[in-house]
Chain A
Amino acid sequence: MKPIVYEIRRTLTSKFVIIMMIAIVGLSALLAYETASTSTSVGISSQPSVSFGYFINGNNLTMVAYAHDSYGNPVSRVNVYYQYNGTEYIAVSSSNGYANSTFPIDKSPQILIETNYSYRQFGNRITSPSAQYMVNFSSYYSGLQIIPDIVNPSNTSNLGFMVMYIGQNGTPSPPITIIVKATDISSKISDTSNFTYYYNMSSISIAKIYPTISSDNRNMSFLVSAEAANGMPLMLNTGIGKFTPFIDLFKLSIYTPITQSRLQNLVFSGAASILGLFIPILAIFVGYLTYGKDRTSGVLESVLKRPVTRGELITTRFISNALAILIAGSLAMIITDIIYNHYLHMYFSLLFLIDLIWTYLVEGVAFLALVYLISHVVKSQGALLGAAIGIFVVMDLFWGIIPIAVISALGISSTSSSYVTVNILFDYVSPAGYSNLVQSLITGKLGSFGGISINPSTYGITDLALAISGFLWMMVPFALAYILARYRD
């Protein structure tokens, strides 16, 4: 077996590396999912809503209330209050969501029923503001009502609507055709068959409709209308005593076109933070476990006594460790890219993907090289482990805090250019700052302290400077470790 093959296999199959790779890839994927899905989904309310309808039978009015969540699913145990002529009538929603109440009314053309509802949330009873529902006495039932902004549970970036039908004296509806059309009639809808729905509805019933919006119709507004079986238009109840042939649904999708710039910002606010923390942990401890510990414990001597030079031995292990870092960073970025594409329908540009992989390779390999260097300076495992933890804590974990402390101590204003200069200086001083520098170069904003727009080249952040800095971070500590390995015991 070729020694390099064994070294690579040993590194990649060690429990620590496997666990770290799962953590890095898994957490990056989770953050990518979280940032991608929330950037495209409708805000889901945890609070129920109540939609109202009615029918009149003689002198009695039956108010129908349907308590539901953001997806249109029924919600039970919602108290619904109706006030008419100074008398309050209460109904509680059952498992089907309905909270109906029947009470006598005067025969006048229009009747105002004051409604509100309450529900329990985290032990507290929450009461909605009062609203008025207009009952038109000339119409003995509310008929068809359209309740918009119902979230599609299978695609939370899309909206649908509910059709609520209340028939006369418990009679079911005749066949109804629900039609959804773009507001701009000049616009073409690619698949109109998806926008016509046929229903025979019972006297009190709810139907949820989620039109399938093709990508070229995402930004259109839509109107919903209804027709009887003979093609005659049906009037839709607006709930304020009026009937209309169309209800404007506005948009059925909250999708907004993604750009590379937006995609990059999502990465920097998501997966990048995980990689910035975990890649150095992987690098530092894989270096400790497969080289430093072997060196200080004497295990490395069992290899050094072979026909191999000291330089070859350190280089072989370093390359196998660096490969683990490259694989972890690349896998994390590729999975992140796939997840973002799934939700946002755009892949990273190849250059951006390479930039990201390079960034975390530099960061990881630099920390790895520092551990190799220290392995040749200290003599005991304990001292090496302490130094490795120290490097992680100071140069990675708390590196973001140190410039703040320095800036504060020097009394530098956060709006001054000195503030930017000090931050960028610190980013150049630790490998942990390298990703901030790359971020500044790409976004034109100050790395992890975000928000401040800068001209990167003014502060020495250029492609060339970052390329040189990256190579120096990877090569200088390793070159020193290599020299010590060759010329010292």
Chain B
Amino acid sequence: MIEIESVTKRYVRNSPPAVDELNLKINDGEVLGLVGLNGAGKTTTIRMIAGILLPTTGRIKVDGFDVVKDKVKATHNVGWIPELPNFEPNAKPLSLMKYFAGFYEPKGDMNKRILDLLDSVGLSNDLNKKLRDYSQGMKKRFAIAESLISDPKNVLFDETLNGLDPEGVKFVRNLIIDLKSQGKGIMLSSHILSEIENLADKVAIIHHGKLIKILDRSDLKNLGRTVIHIEIVDYNPSESILKETLSQFGSFERNDGEIVLRDLTVQDKDIPSILQKLVMKGLTVRKFEPIGESLEEYFFKLIGEKK
């Protein structure tokens, strides 16, 4: 379990915070998706949980242990797979894994566990190479293996899917599902929002370091509600005509020449009546596309509102 309590992180004194009064909680057996634009504070949050960065204020607890005051106990139960893993370039994977394993209490046959982990990420044929000769994808696979060396109760995936081949993406997806089934707390940060939508139990949307929304599973289910994308030919109807025509069917907004109608008041079977109403108003409709709203659309809508 990871608890983030009113955490603020400033890299430079008196500058805007990278993370601002953030409160989050990841329960055991739960996947929390972390979503935000570049610079939103996702990686900073994850690096603070991993014990790499020190919070300016606030407190982070891992299984009840403070990451700053009780770092050894706290980080014992955290595995972190960074976006761009960086290892001692001249080391070979086995010796580096043994070195990393030396930081943990020995559990059973560590050598076997190391070989099994490296095999599970598909590196068993590359054990004689130095890490400087690994591709970025291979380094990420190695990072997954070394992060799981202590069988941590909490795992942090920071843009882990970036740079992986389709097989790697599938492996990570299955790994997350497997870890979740083992009751581990997982934080998943990714730009591939569809993956988060599929895997996460909760999604935290952060912007400029602030938490702006937490969506739970039921919220995510509701994200599938229908929205209609409409384009009108050679005519830019006034706000009053649109309001007169569309407001009875839901809320609408203009977005780059497109009109998006959401929060529909009619059932799906009655959607053609909306098109009929537009035509009757003399508008030439080029596009009338009813689709389910994705997390991505919701995210951009939310971020747009914040802007």
Contacts and interface: CB of A to CB of B under 8 A. Distances in A.
A114 interface: no
20 contacts: A2-B102, A5-B102, A6-B98, A10-B88, A297-B86, A299-B87, A299-B88, A299-B89, A301-B47, A302-B85, A302-B143, A305-B50, A305-B51, A305-B52, A306-B103, A307-B72, A307-B76, A307-B104, A308-B71, A309-B71
A304 B103 contact: no
Given A1-B98, A299-B88, A489-B54, A309 B72 contact: yes
B293 to A, nearest CB: 37
B146 interface: yes
Contacts of A5: 102
Nearest to A308: B103
A301 B82 contact: yes
A487 B54 contact: yes
A6 B102 contact: yes
B101 interface: yes
A307 B82 contact: no
B190 interface: no
Contacts of A304: 51-52
A489 B53 contact: yes
The interface size bin for chain A is 20 to 34
A301 B98 CA distance: 17
B86 A305 contact: no
A306 B152 CA distance: 11
B73 interface: yes
Query: Which A-B residue pairs are the 6 nearest by beta carbons?
Result: A306-B103, A6-B99, A307-B76, A298-B86, A307-B72, A1-B102
A310 B103 CA distance: 13
Contacts of A306: 75, 100, 103-104
B161 interface: no
Nearest to A7: B99
Nearest to A302: B87
Interface in B71-97: 71-73, 75-76, 78, 80, 82, 84-91, 95
Contacts of B87: 299, 302
Interface residues of B, number: 34
A307 B76 CA distance: 5
Contacts of A6: 95, 98-99, 102
Contacts, number: 71
A307 B71 contact: yes
A1 to B, nearest CB: 5
Interface string B124-159: 000000000000000000010010001000000000
Contacts of B80: 305
Given A294-B88, A299-B87, A487-B54, A305 B78 contact: yes
Contacts of B75: 305-308
Nearest to A304: B52
A3 interface: yes
A168 B88 CA distance: 84
Contact of B99 (A3, A307, A310): A3
Given A1-B101, A1-B102, A302 B146 contact: yes
Interface string A1-23: 11101100010001000000000
Nearest to B85: A302
Contacts of A10: 88, 91
Nearest to A297: B86
A388 to B, nearest CB: 19
Contacts of A488: 54
Interface in B21-48: 47
Given A6-B98, A307-B71, 6 more contacts: A302-B85, A302-B87, A304-B51, A307-B103, A308-B75, A489-B52
Given A1-B98, A307-B71, A307-B73, A301 B52 contact: yes
A6 B103 CA distance: 11
Which among A305, A308, A309, A489 has the greatest number of chain B C-beta atoms within 10 A?
A305
A294 B91 CA distance: 13
Nearest to A309: B71
A5 B103 CA distance: 12
Given A299-B88, A302-B86, A308 B72 contact: yes
A6 B51 CA distance: 22
Contacts of B53: 489
Interface in A296-339: 297-299, 301-310
A299 B72 contact: no
A308 B51 CA distance: 10
Contact of B86 (A299, A308, A487, A489): A299
B302 to A, nearest CB: 30
Contacts of B51: 304-305
Contacts of B52: 301, 304-305, 489
B306 to A, nearest CB: 28
B86 A1 contact: no
A126 to B, nearest CB: 58
Nearest to B110: A1
A308 B103 CA distance: 7
B69 to A, nearest CB: 11
Interface string A120-137: 000000000000000000
Interface string A429-472: 00000000000000000000000000000000000000000000
B291 to A, nearest CB: 42
B208 to A, nearest CB: 20
A346 B80 CA distance: 60
Contacts of A309: 71-72
A303 B71 CA distance: 13
Contacts of A307: 71-73, 75-76, 103-104, 150
B214 to A, nearest CB: 26
Contacts of B99: 1, 3, 6
Contacts of A308: 71-72, 75, 103
A302 B84 CA distance: 11
A173 to B, nearest CB: 73
B307 to A, nearest CB: 29
Nearest to A310: B71
A315 to B, nearest CB: 14
